[in-house]
Structure 1
Amino acid sequence: MSDDLQRRPNPSGWTPPKAPYNPYDPADARPPEGYPSEFKVPGAAPLGISSIPRDPTQYKKVNETMKRLNYTPRPKLAKYPGQYMVLRKVDTNQRLNTGTRMFGALISVSIIGYFTFFYRWQDGSETVMSEFYRQRLQWQERFFGLTDQEYQDLYHPKGAQTTLKSVRDVDFVHQDATKENQFVLARPSERHVLEAQRLQQEEEERTLRALDEHREFAKQFMEPEQKKKRFWFF
């Protein structure tokens, strides 16, 4: 039993390993980065201004030492000296990963395309996406035709929904007190907004009356529709 506990003899030609950068060996040149014992112990970055850096773990110490020694566990290439072997990463779920990426790309492109070319933003008012929406309507008109609403959106689009905020009449600053130019304009008062709305309403009423007169005039030249008989006794 005592023979089993004794250390086995070294094989022939075996030499004791040489420690890297032995400071007691005169033949060993000191590296420019210093010996591993001289390396500064890495510390974790503090989380805040007043926090204290945490003590590094054993893994961080070894990792920092390996980086400074320029050590890599990868085997060297025999064909190309000075280069190391690169392990190929095997994708065990290639079909699943490929299908997931393709499905995600399809969903993303579909959502972006729908909200860019098909969605009617702000009830047809002028927005950033209106040009793409009208371009799609032009293609649709060429091949399939348009509905009444789509025709209005294409050829008679609505303006941008802008709201004009007025100030009270007592707070209105007269034009003589503040000089206006193309960069500085005074905010209109309530009576100015009411007058603009009155003029707009009168213009709309004139347009509707002219449209009614045109319809009445067109009825004179339109033939009355005759109900077709489906059977001889009806």
Structure 2
Amino acid sequence: MTVAIRATDLVKSYIAGVRALDRVSLEVSSGEVLVVMGPSGSGKSTLIRTFNGLERLDGGALDVLGVRLDSTHADPQVRAIRRRVGMVFQQFNLFPHLSILENISLAPVKVQKRPKAEVEQRALELLEQMGIQEQAEKYPAQLSGGQQQRVAIARALALDPEVMLFDEPTSALDPERVKEVLDAMRQLARGGMTMVVVTHEIGFAREVADRVMFMDQGQVVETSDPVTFFSGAREERSRRFLSQMV
């Protein structure tokens, strides 16, 4: 099976002596859904942000879709990765002065130089896929949080990425809006999208993940299939975390 992401001994420090990532190594296969869990401050978001060059590495090496990143963090490599890797954040980051259709169409037209009519047709298809096609002409402030996050997913998909990264995409949502975003992510997973998802949503991880990776203090504590992780985690630190989650 083709490896989409390979990380080897990743190191990232924000302050002297404290490592947000402490020699983290992992692989993600094409078509796989990896869910990353752990307590706040464990390095989850830092890790996923290295995968598209948002965080500069202090050590180790990263191979994303055949493009290599290391501590030199060369801009051409970062741009090459971002053209092929989509990311959805906790906050929606939509442009408030643009319509939903314009938000989704902007990058494919400006960055990829694709024809506007073609891009807008694709945007409408993505909105339909997300179940919010009727919102195309509205503005972000007119949508609920769950709807805005689904627009953010559609915007990322409009660039036709090969990998999708999700950094706690439901953490800023009201509880009743969480399901609609997770449903959209489930649909992507069923379609074979390679996904790395940082989340605390245990139900989603049980149902959708191929593997669950648990992190603490910048290190990978354990990685296993969801059945094993949620019913018989090997490490005491993992079991302690799960006991507080359920």
TM-score by structure 1 length?
0.19
The structure carrying a bigger strand percent of its residues is: 2
